[in-house]
Copies of this chain bind each other. A is one copy, B any other.
C-alpha cells in the first residue's frame, strides 16, 4: 500500500499540513523540520496522490493532443515536438488517437478524460465549427480548418505553399502538372486550400486547368498515392510533374511511377507536402513543402498556456507558422 501525507507526518512528528508545505516548497519551514520531513518522505518513498491534488487544485498539469492517426509520420513528428514544448511548461501530454471520425473527434473535443486535462491541442479532420459550440475546455486547433472564431488556431499558409510548389514545378519546364490528394468531402478543407494554390499557380503561368490531371483520394496514405498514380497513368493522362498534397501520397506516387517504368525526375517530377523524415531518404529524395513543425508545436502550446493563465475569454487568435520549400532530387 502506498503512503499518504498522514503517514509521513506521523513519522516526522509534525502535522499533515507541514508535510504538504515541504512538498510544495513553502518557504517558511525551519530547516531542521524540513530535513526531518524530507527524511521521512525518503524512507517511506512517499509520492503525492495526483488525483487528490488535482481535485483540490482544479488543475491537472496534463494537456491532451488529439490527432487522427499516430502512425501517420507527420502527426508522429508533430507529437514529438508538442511533447517537448509542453515539457517546458511542466506539462505532461496525453495523446489521443481519434481516427478522424466525427464521433470520436467530438468526444475528444468535449474533454476526453474530463477534468483530467487542463487543455487540448486538437488536429481535427471531420469536425465542423458547429461541433465546437459551448465547449469550455481551453483548446488550440491545428491544421487547415477554416472555421474562424471558435478557438485559437495555428496553421500554415496552405494556399501560398501549394502555389509556390506548383510554380516551382512549372519553373522546371513542366506543363502537365498533376495534383494528387484532392478531396470533395467536407473533411477535405486542407485539400481544398492546396488545390486552390495549385490552380492559382497554373493561372499565374497561363496554363489551363485540366481536370484529368487532378486525382481525388479517400485518404492521404501511401497506398492512396500509389493507387491514384496508377489510375492516372492508366487513364492516359501523361503528367510530366505531380504535386502531391502530402509526403505519404508522394512516396506512394514514387512507387507507382517506378512500377510503371518512369524515371523521376527525368520523366516525371514529384513534389510532396509535410517534409517527413522518409522523404529525405527515399529514392529519389523528395522535394516537399516543409512546415516548421517545431514552431507550430511551440506556438500551439504557448497559446494554450496563455488561455490557462487567465485569458480565458480573450477573442480567438489565428497564428500562421512559417514554411519553406525543400528542394531535393525528385524535382531536379
* With known contacts A71-B73, A113-B50, A277-B222, A80–B97 Cβ distance under 8 A: yes
A316, CB-defined interface residue at 8 Å: no
A13, CB-defined interface residue at 8 Å: no
A52, CB-defined interface residue at 8 Å: yes
* With known contacts A114-B50, A116-B51, A278-B251, A71–B60 Cβ distance under 8 A: no
B97 engages A49 (CB within 8 Å): no
B92 engages A112 (CB within 8 Å): yes
A282, CB-defined interface residue at 8 Å: yes
Chain A, interface residues (CB within 8 Å), range: 35 or more
Interface residues in A96-146 by Cβ distance below 8 A to B read 96-97, 110-116, 134, 136
Q: Give chain B residues whose Cβ lies under 8 Å from the Cβ of A134.
A: 45
Q: Kindly report how many copies of this chain are found in the complex they form together.
A: 2
Q: Give chain B residues whose Cβ lies under 8 Å from the Cβ of A96.
A: 92
Q: Give chain B residues whose Cβ lies under 8 Å from the Cβ of A45.
A: 134
Q: Please tell me which one of the listed residues B79, B95, B252 contacts residue A281 in the complex, with CB atoms under 8 A apart.
A: B252
Q: Please tell me which one of the listed residues B51, B80, B93 contacts residue A71 in the complex, with CB atoms under 8 A apart.
A: B80
Q: Give chain B residues whose Cβ lies under 8 Å from the Cβ of A226.
A: 281
Q: Considering the complex of A and B, which 3 residue pairs feature the smallest CB-CB distances, nearest first?
A: A95-B95, A51-B54, A51-B55
Q: Give 22 pairs: A residue, B residue, CB < 8 Å, sorted on A.
A: A2-B115, A2-B136, A47-B110, A47-B114, A48-B115, A49-B115, A50-B114, A51-B54, A60-B116, A62-B113, A69-B80, A70-B79, A73-B76, A79-B95, A94-B94, A94-B95, A222-B277, A222-B278, A222-B280, A251-B281, A251-B282, A283-B283
